[in-house]
Amino acid sequence: MQNPDIARQLDDVADLLEISAANPFRVRAYRNAARTVRDQPDSISDLVRGGDFDLTQLAGVGKGIAAEIHALITTGKLPQRQQLVAEVPPGLLELLRLPGLGPRRVKLLHDMLGVRTIGDLARVTKAGKVAALPRFGAKIIEKIQAGIGQAGKAERRLRLHEAEQYAAALVEYLKAGGGIDAIAAAGSFRRRRETIGDLDLVVTGPEPAHILERFAHFPDVTHVASQGPTRATVRLSGGLQVDLRAVEPGAYGAALQYFTGSQAHNIELRKIALAKGLKLNEYGVFRGATQIAGRTEADVYAALGLDWVPPELREARGEIALAQRHALPRLVTLEDMRGDLQMHTDASDGKDTLAEMVAAAQSLGYAYIAITEHSPRVSMAGLDARELRAQWRAINRLNKGLRNLRVLKSVECDILETGRMDLSDDVLREADYVVATIHYGQKQPERQITDRLLGAIAHPWVDAIGHPTGRIVNGRPPYALDFDAVARAAAAAGCLLEINGSERLDLSDTLAAAAKAQGVRFVLSTDAHNTRELGFMRFAIAMARRAGLTPGDIANTGPLRDFLKSLKRARHGGR
């Protein structure tokens, strides 16, 4: 059972509790636990089965929910969900998947109109009964009708974080069976897209039939759609489709390139092959009937006169022309990162202590980190000026005993709905680094949101804009803003824009690429709320690589002295 499966069941409990009008704090507890589980870089199931992991170490997971998760991992059933499903019609969960319907509206439909299924909803909507209910305006009904029409048809896409759990588990499981010379997850997962529709695995080994048979018996498989001598397709319990293709060693590179895609990238490669009198497919590059390349991806690209293209760039956005000119950028890697510049401790809404976060950062080899607790506007977790300065004094004391790591006195300061900063200038001036973010007023008009960001960019003691568009992948769309204006202003002011490796993945790859074209520099951060989430840097790296960013585009690839000199505050006589 992978983390997304556990999180999905915890979310179901939260939805069912809300439909049942349960205590809002219980609902929030399950939602927070689901988010924590979904975002964990390590398999919680493996940790629990290892026998020495306390689930209450995870942010937002108390003893009760920890016991529920333990039961789910060991028995396959979540007791609280089982109980609620017996009390609440299970079809109501399906209603929650429709746009415009949250738990409160679903409860209203059930209580007032007896709606239990999507079919019931279609009937009462057509009869005009839904329009008579409060909270159901014309736009909501339009969304519901569109959702009913698409019910069961829409592709369910996993966030990259979730897909990685499945890919890692499958590859590890297949390797454990032996007989594998090489294996990789291909498709949009290998290109590190922010969401994944399905998984493609490519494998080579001396006994493909044995590999395919083992694949069909992966414990999470609920349906084997097909199984032949070189290919099998299965569906996992969470609904994810996985295809496995077994190929000859001499064609492994060609197959990996072909099934990695993207389709547009591959079409361009085939055009080049045809122009050279060659044929390119998943079996290799051929001149007539003779294979001239295919064992490795590099061989395939070289046969076409190209440099090997990193998977993250294979979107037909100009990378092929660069590969022809031998001008592909040297993309940033995880090994380039010298620091992580957004994280939280238990002083605000994090789970682990300052000392624990520091120790974890040291283990990753970082030269510097920024502890960025929330400012007071985040009322459940924010620190006021007095509390923040007390933490900074503790950081000063801590730094005196540290070797090879500097902890920066920092804050994640809210940009208020009025456009003002949430802390006074004298406080922000004292910091080593300030990241400004928007958490509230996200439904303001585009001009107002844009002006708030432009004001923060111009502020002398704001060094970076964190998660600049406010999006959460598969959770919340970006707020309305004029991003071109924001990027131009950031470039002119020397204000960094963040690529956040949490569930936000904000900035996106396309916006980061557009900002780079304007001359913007970036900072990569994890927004970690516990030590394990420091591993989210690899997801920030994925977005940066897809945007074509090099180490020189990213401020926190440099040594501490260079990083501090590059900050906007350095021009104004700040730290």
- pLDDT of res. 148: 77
Assess whether 22 and 56 both reside in one domain. yes
Decide: 18 and 27 in contact? Cβ < 8 Å: yes
464-465 and 496-500 beta bridge pairing: parallel
* Per-residue pLDDT reduced to its tens digit, 142-194: 888 877 776 655 456 889 998 998 999 999 999 999 999 999 999 999 999 99
Residue 271 structural domain: 261-324
Domain end among 201, 217, 246: 246
Residue 54 lies in a domain: yes
Residue 288 lies in a domain: yes
Q: Which two tokens stand for residue 168?
A: 């890692």
Please tell me whether the peptide bond between 502 and the residue prior to it is cis, using omega within 30 degrees of 0.
Answer: no
Assess whether 443 and 532 both reside in one domain. yes
**CA nearest to 14, candidates 81, 60, 71, 64:** 81
Angle between helices 160-176 and 24-39 (to 10 degrees): 50
* Per-residue pLDDT reduced to its tens digit, 366-417: 999 999 999 999 877 789 999 999 999 999 999 999 999 999 999 999 999 9
Assess whether 41 and 165 both reside in one domain. no
In tens digits, what is the pLDDT along the chain, a chain of 575 residues? 788 888 888 988 888 888 887 788 888 889 888 888 887 777 888 888 877 788 887 877 888 999 999 898 888 888 988 888 887 777 787 787 777 777 888 888 888 888 888 888 888 888 888 888 887 888 888 888 877 776 655 456 889 998 998 999 999 999 999 999 999 999 999 999 999 999 999 999 999 999 999 999 998 899 999 999 999 999 998 789 999 999 999 999 999 999 999 999 999 999 999 999 999 999 999 999 999 999 999 999 999 999 999 999 999 999 999 999 999 999 999 999 999 999 999 999 888 899 999 999 999 999 999 999 999 998 777 899 999 999 999 999 999 999 999 999 999 999 999 999 999 999 999 999 999 999 999 999 999 999 999 999 999 999 999 999 999 998 888 999 999 999 999 999 999 999 999 999 999 999 999 999 999 999 999 999 989 899 999 999 999 999 999 999 999 999 999 999 999 998 877 65
Q: Which two tokens stand for residue 504?
A: 């936000």
Q: Determine the Cα–Cα distance for residues 357 and 334; give it in Å rounded to an integer.
A: 19
Residue 255 lies in a domain: no
Q: Which two tokens stand for residue 368?
A: 């510097």
Q: In the 8-state DSSP scheme, what is residue 239? A: S
Decide: 204 and 247 in contact? Cβ < 8 Å: yes
Assess whether 143 and 198 both reside in one domain. no
Decide: 323 and 306 in contact? Cβ < 8 Å: yes
Assess whether 274 and 386 both reside in one domain. no
Residue 478 sits in a domain of what CATH number?
A: 3.20.20.140
- pLDDT of res. 367: 97
Residue 99 sits in a domain of what CATH number?
A: 1.10.150.110
Assess whether 558 and 460 both reside in one domain. yes
Please state, as a whole number, how many other Cβ atoms lie within 10 Å of the Cβ of residue 149: 9
Q: Determine the Cα–Cα distance for residues 556 and 505; give it in Å rounded to an integer.
A: 17
Assess whether 171 and 32 both reside in one domain. no
Angle between helices 160-176 and 208-216 (to 10 degrees): 130
pTM: 0.84
- pLDDT of res. 152: 55
Residue 256 lies in a domain: no
Q: Determine the Cα–Cα distance for residues 495 and 489; give it in Å rounded to an integer.
A: 8
